[in-house]
Structure 1
């Protein structure tokens, strides 16, 4: 049996943010050292706001200086946005400026707030010319991954340096929902979903094998409203999508939660050493 998923718990979001920042920077630096770029996929929900709090709020005077000056090579505390390549773990079949767009949410919460001096990431939104055809939307986004990660002839699955995910109140993540047939998909990198139980119904999502194949996976879940589903994910053999990610990734998967979200959860919790 592989090593357990990491469950890092904090008193509140304010104390969670510095740890998330340190974790992301660690993954970033490893990705840049590995292949000169940091390939990260993000989801929507409350994650972009928490991510912005983490990445745009320096934890030290040294880190603060990096937001005011051009990014320097080799600084362990620097968020190297100029080396980031951002993908979407899932997306809704809506225009990019629609209120349901994960791209639109990330843009307003994080991308628009990155100082020019900090460098700008490469961002890969969906092709809005095919919003009416979820299969084509998924196929085109998979082609974006193929172009970035290598041809499908040479790699079985893309390997993200980091996936940043949220956890829905039903235990879903990305647009992988409990009991849905899409959880059994094994060949596609990106799949359409036309019957999402959460609106909008038409979406695309990374598949479970792609998610669990990532170098690192970080979930962010906060608030007392999550404690019951967190108990099911961590303390029961639930088969919920988030639990399947835990099982598939083991200690490559880390959760950043506040104490309220894991009240009553017996799975061992620990702090994150900055």
Structure 2
């Protein structure tokens, strides 16, 4: 058994969680820039982009605390097979909550949304996105899996993350980098998602889960055998201390698991 995931708990999202999330993201950014001069991040939708914007658009406090957006490459951990300006699009959400709010003097990250052709064919959308990842992550060398510097995820009330849902056959798939799903239990039904092996391979994986509505599923994930088989639980088990959870107090109230108060 490897080391367990890190669970951070904060009283306030704005005053504590967001600044600690910023510190965590910028640590990964600075490490990645030292390694290969670019910071490759995969993000999901939900409430994550809003919290991320609070973290990243705050003023810099000095050296090591600068968001270098022009050196970022942003990918989507999952996406719905809808036009990019559709209400259900994760790209639209990230664009409105974060990208459009970045001040011009900070520069912009390079963003890789899905292609809008063939949206009715979710397998085609997944194949195209996988080809994009291959062109970027395996341009010079053949690699088994793409290595994201950071993958930022949310946790659904059923324990799903990306578009990987409990008990779904996709959880057992090992071959492709990107899969399509046509029967998502949560609408819209047609989506694409990074595979579980790709998520587990990430250099670091950060979850943001806030609000009392998450308490029941987090208790299950961190305390029970059943919860360890949910998609979020599988990531905890498979990636161990590469995983960090950023939660507010209502989300982890009554969760019996060692908590940290701040990012070191």
User: Do they superpose with TM above 0.5?
Assistant: yes
**Aligned residue number for residue 8 of structure 1:** 8
Unpaired stretches in structure 1, ≥5 consecutive residues: 63-74
CA contact (8 A) 1:90 1:205 kept: yes
| Residue 273 (structure 1) shift | 3.8
Aligned length: 261
Give, in whole Å, the separation in 1 of the partners of 2:258 and 2:237.
Answer: 16
**Aligned residue number for residue 34 of structure 1:** 35
After TM superposition, the score normalised by the length of structure 1 is 0.93
CA contact (8 A) 1:195 1:201 kept: yes
CA contact (8 A) 1:18 1:59 kept: no
CA contact (8 A) 2:160 2:231 kept: yes
After TM superposition, the score normalised by the length of structure 2 is 0.97
1:24-173 alignment to 2 at 5 Å? 24-58=25-59, 60=61, 62=62, 75-150=63-138, 154-173=142-161
The reply on whether 1:255 has 2:256 as its aligned counterpart is no
Runs of 4+ in 1 over 4 A off after TM superposition: none
1:184-203 alignment to 2 at 5 Å? 184-203=172-191
Give, in whole Å, the separation in 1 of the partners of 2:30 and 2:88.
Answer: 32
Deviations 1:6-58 (A, max 9, x none): 00100021110000000000000111111110000000000000000110123
Unpaired stretches in structure 2, ≥5 consecutive residues: none
Give, in whole Å, the separation in 2 of the partners of 1:180 and 1:237.
Answer: 17
Give, in whole Å, the separation in 1 of the partners of 2:57 and 2:194.
Answer: 27
CA RMSD, aligned part only? 1.2
1:210-229 alignment to 2 at 5 Å? 210-229=198-217
